[in-house]
Amino acid sequence: MSGRLAPIVECPDPHSAMPSFNNSSIALSVGLFVLGLVVSSTIVVSFLVALPPSYFLDPQSRRPRSARSVLFMTAKNVLAVLLIAFGLVLAIPGVPGQGLLTILVGLLLLGGPVQRTAARRLLRRRFVKGRVDRLRRRFGRPPLLLDEAD
């Protein structure tokens, strides 16, 4: 035995665990990023522009009447939850996309008693309301009207 102690655990090369990138994987990543950004922006913009200005003023207490409408409501709620989850991911700093607006669209699609209240609270933020109104103005639509009390 010499004067040195043998290592208990062999340490692997720290650079061997690094993923290798090539041009095709980078191009695929960038392409998926751009596609996701375009698709999410298109959905958010088309939905916010299509809303009637008095959407938050009109009480809607419609109930589903048939199995088909219940199925439609279920599919709509699933889509709403997916949009809210996607919006939460987009709201993380460094992730490109319109996070708060995507969450807003998800809340608007979501059925239930708190749906409009949650969407109104989000729209009451000056930053969000200003962006939505500017977007609607760009497409020739009047701004959304909000009632004063929530």
pLDDT in tens, 107-125: 888 776 667 777 788 888 8
Those residues whose C-beta lies under 8 Å from the C-beta of residue 121, and which sit 6 or more positions away, are 150
Q: What pLDDT, on a 0 to 100 scale, did the predictor assign at position 144?
A: 86
Q: Output the average pLDDT for the chain.
A: 76
**24 sits in which H/E element:** helix 23-50
**Residue 144 located in a structural domain:** no
Write out the residue range of the structural domain in which residue 90 sits.
21-138
Those residues whose C-beta lies under 8 Å from the C-beta of residue 50, and which sit 6 or more positions away, are none
Those residues whose C-beta lies under 8 Å from the C-beta of residue 97, and which sit 6 or more positions away, are 36, 37, 40, 41, 90
Q: DSSP assignment, residue 20?
A: P
**Residue 12 located in a structural domain:** no
Show the tokens assigned to 51: 């809303």
**Residue 148 located in a structural domain:** no
Helix, strand, or coil (residue 63): coil
Q: What pLDDT, on a 0 to 100 scale, did the predictor assign at position 6?
A: 61
Q: For 31-51, what is each residue's pLDDT tens digit?
A: 877 887 788 788 878 888 888
Between residues 80 and 59, the one the model is more confident about: 80
pLDDT range class, residue 59, cuts 50, 70, 90 = low
**Residue 14 located in a structural domain:** no
pLDDT range class, residue 13, cuts 50, 70, 90 = low
**Residue 143 located in a structural domain:** no
Total domain count, the chain: 1
**Residue 34 located in a structural domain:** yes
Q: What pLDDT, on a 0 to 100 scale, did the predictor assign at position 140?
A: 92
**Residue 108 located in a structural domain:** yes
Long-range contacts from 114-121, C-beta under 8 angstroms, 24+ separation = 116/56, 117/150, 119/56, 120/56, 120/146, 120/147, 120/150, 121/150
**Residue 9 located in a structural domain:** no
Judge whether residue 150 has pLDDT over 60. no
